[in-house]
């Protein structure tokens, strides 16, 4: 098949303003001829469902009765797409993204079609100002060490295609037969969000498949706008819980390193996005509270791990 069917799934929760950019750019610029957009709405109250139905009638809208979180919401969309459209590929796209090049989807599909061992294809994410946000994870260190950033200068990076440990969960293409064969849906034990994409990528690689990353495909990502609506303590607990859950599930031998590293994030924080150094490290206000939250996160991670095995 020259242009296999792709179902693009966009999860939304009270993101009407984000969907304007996301869907407008997608329908206007995408030159790939065989795709279907499915917006999965997690019980929004801001008029998102009505807006999409009126402004983008080409898109399917699944209006869920409540917010099921990132993992389950996407899983509902994936199952719907597989049953109704039987696509060769599923593409998961965050609602806070913006398409900026016409051939973005064509290149992702071409890469996936080039090798049957490729299970997932991702792309570079950039900030609205054009600076680099994500170019794939090359080593396990970036997963196991929280806040570790592995990055090369964006403008001098000359690779087009690279095989990586993980790509960004904000935009990636996955083969439908892989989803069905290995039941590679998001693990809902990570619900409502955080690390579920990392877990999926690890399971794909454990199945003997490759994760490809296209550096010449760039998408604007406004970066966790929905996520940042949550309270700081809740986000800290959830990230910590799911971090330890991912270690228990895939990297048990690294747990002795993970606990003190995560403890340091309770006490200190980086003032800016630069690599850690004495000039941008600060003591976190109220760090004692964060330590108690961390203890709860570890016990919760142990509990959900034993519920999942």
Give, for all 309 residues of the chain, the pLDDT tens digit.
Answer: 689 999 999 999 999 999 999 999 999 999 999 999 999 999 999 999 999 999 999 999 999 999 999 999 999 999 999 999 999 999 999 999 999 999 999 999 999 999 999 999 999 999 999 988 888 888 777 777 655 444 444 443 568 999 999 999 999 999 999 898 877 888 999 998 889 999 999 999 999 999 999 999 999 999 766 656 667 889 889 999 999 999 999 999 888 888 888 888 888 777 666 666 677 788 888 889 989 999 999 999 999 999 987
User: In this structure, how many other beta carbons lie within 10 angstroms of the beta carbon of residue 174?
Assistant: 24
Residue 84: CATH number of its domain: 3.90.550.10
Cα separation of 288 and 285, whole Å?
9
* Whole-number pLDDT of residue 225: 63
- The DSSP bridge partners found for residue 58 are none
Q: Assess whether 185 and 275 both reside in one domain.
A: no
Q: Assess whether 173 and 45 both reside in one domain.
A: yes
* Whole-number pLDDT of residue 22: 98
* Whole-number pLDDT of residue 230: 63
Counting the structural domains of the chain, the total is: 2
Cα separation of 236 and 29, whole Å?
37
* Whole-number pLDDT of residue 307: 92
Q: Is the peptide bond before 192 cis (omega within 30 degrees of 0)?
A: yes
Q: For residue 248, give the DSSP letter.
A: H
Q: Assess whether 87 and 163 both reside in one domain.
A: yes
Whether 101 and 146 have beta carbons less than 8 Å apart is answered as no
Residue 255 tokens, joined: 């747990």
- H-state helical runs in the chain: 16-29, 48-55, 69-84, 104-113, 141-144, 176-182, 196-206, 232-250, 255-267, 287-308
Query: How many angstroms separate the most distant Cα atoms in the chain?
Result: 59
Q: DSSP letters of 53-107? A: HHH-TTSEEEE-SS--HHHHHHHHHHHHHHHHT--SEEEEEETTEEE--TTHHHH
Of the three residues 179, 195, 227, the one that is the final residue of a domain is 227
Of the three residues 208, 227, 246, the one that is the final residue of a domain is 227
The answer to whether residue 1 sits within a structural domain is: no
* Whole-number pLDDT of residue 227: 59
Whether 195 and 242 have beta carbons less than 8 Å apart is answered as yes
Among candidate residues 141, 171, 210, 219, the one with its CA nearest the CA of residue 151: 141
* Whole-number pLDDT of residue 40: 98
Cα separation of 135 and 151, whole Å?
8
Cα separation of 105 and 88, whole Å?
14
* Lookup result for tokens 């260190």: 141
Q: Assess whether 139 and 278 both reside in one domain.
A: no
* Lookup result for tokens 């990636």: 172
Q: For residue 147, give the DSSP letter.
A: T
Q: Assess whether 43 and 137 both reside in one domain.
A: yes
Q: Assess whether 133 and 199 both reside in one domain.
A: yes
* Whole-number pLDDT of residue 224: 65
Domain encompassing residue 250? 230-308
Q: Assess whether 30 and 103 both reside in one domain.
A: yes
Q: Assess whether 205 and 275 both reside in one domain.
A: no
CA 74 to chain centre: 11
* Whole-number pLDDT of residue 273: 60
Whether 182 and 203 have beta carbons less than 8 Å apart is answered as yes
Residue 54 exposed, middle or buried by CB count within 10 Å (0-12, 13-18, 19+): exposed
Q: Assess whether 29 and 75 both reside in one domain.
A: yes
């Amino acid at each position: 098949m020259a242009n296999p069917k792709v179902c693009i799934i966009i999860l939304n929760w009270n993101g009407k303003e984000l969907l304007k950019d996301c869907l407008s750019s997608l329908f206007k610029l995408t030159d790939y001829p065989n795709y279907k957009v499915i917006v999965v709405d997690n019980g929004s109250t801001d008029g998102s469902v009505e807006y999409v139905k009126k402004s983008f009638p080409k898109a399917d809208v699944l209006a869920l009765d409540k917010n099921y979180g990132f993992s389950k919401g996407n899983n509902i969309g994936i199952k719907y797409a597989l049953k109704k459209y039987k696509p060769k590929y599923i593409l998961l796209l965050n609602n806070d993204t913006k398409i900026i090049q016409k051939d973005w989807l064509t290149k992702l599909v071409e890469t996936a079609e080039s090798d049957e061992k490729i299970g997932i294809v991702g792309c570079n994410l950039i900030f609205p100002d054009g600076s680099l946000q994500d170019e794939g994870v090359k080593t396990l260190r970036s997963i196991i060490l929280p806040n570790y950033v592995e990055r090369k200068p964006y403008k001098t990076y000359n690779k087009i295609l690279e095989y990586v440990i993980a790509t960004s969960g904000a935009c990636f293409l996955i083969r439908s037969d892989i989803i069905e064969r290995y039941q590679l849906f998001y693990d809902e034990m990570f619900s409502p969000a955080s690390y579920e994409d990392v877990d999926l990528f690890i399971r794909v690689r454990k199945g003997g498949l490759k994760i490809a990353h296209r550096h010449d495909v760039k998408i604007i990502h406004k970066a966790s706008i929905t996520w940042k609506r949550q309270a700081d303590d809740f986000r800290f607990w959830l990230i910590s819980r799911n971090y330890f859950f991912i270690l228990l599930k895939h990297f048990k031998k690294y747990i002795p390193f993970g606990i003190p590293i995560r403890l340091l994030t309770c006490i200190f924080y980086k003032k800016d996005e630069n690599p850690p150094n004495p000039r941008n490290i600060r003591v976190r206000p109220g760090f004692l509270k964060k330590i108690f939250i961390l203890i709860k996160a570890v016990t919760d991670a142990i509990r959900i791990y034993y519920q999942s095995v």
